[in-house]
C-alpha cells in the first residue's frame, strides 16, 4: 500500500467536513449545513438529504481529483475519516 501526504486543499476540505459533522451532532444536519460558510462555492445549493434520512448528515465532496464520493455519515470520527481511502 502506498502512503501519500494529503495536499493542502484536501486537508482543508476534510477540516470543513469535520467542522460540519461536529456542528451537525449538536444542532442537526440541516441547520449545520445552512450555517456553514461556503467560501469558494459559486452557487450554493439547499440541503437535500435522501428521503427517510433527513436527520443523518449527507454531503457530496467535490475535489479536483476526478472523483465524487457521496457519503452518508453516521458517527464518523476524525480517526475514522483519516483512515478512509477511495479506491
Q: Give the burial class of 49: count Cβ atoms within 10 A of its Cβ; 0-12 exposed, 13-18 middle, 19 or more buried.
A: middle
Mean pLDDT by 10 residues, the chain (87 residues): 75 88 94 85 85 88 61 49 44
Residue 3 lies in a domain: no
45: domain range? Answer: 8-83
Q: Tell me what pLDDT residue 83 has.
A: 42
Residue 36 lies in a domain: yes
Q: What is the pTM of this model?
A: 0.65
Grid coordinates given for 80: 475514522
71 inside domain: yes
Q: CA-to-CA distance for 5 and 21, rounded, in angstroms? A: 23
Q: Minimal CA–CA distance to 14: which of 59, 48, 75, 50?
A: 59
2 located within any domain: no
How many independent structural domains does the chain possess?
1
Amino acid at each position: 500500500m502506498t502512503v501519500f501526504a494529503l495536499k493542502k486543499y484536501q486537508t482543508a476540505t476534510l477540516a470543513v467536513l469535520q467542522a460540519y459533522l461536529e456542528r451537525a451532532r449538536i444542532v442537526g444536519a440541516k441547520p449545520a449545513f445552512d450555517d456553514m460558510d461556503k467560501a469558494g462555492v459559486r452557487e450554493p445549493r439547499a440541503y437535500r438529504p435522501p428521503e427517510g434520512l433527513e436527520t443523518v448528515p449527507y454531503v457530496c465532496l467535490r475535489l479536483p481529483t476526478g472523483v465524487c464520493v457521496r457519503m452518508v455519515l453516521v458517527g464518523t470520527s476524525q480517526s475514522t475519516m483519516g483512515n478512509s481511502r477511495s479506491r
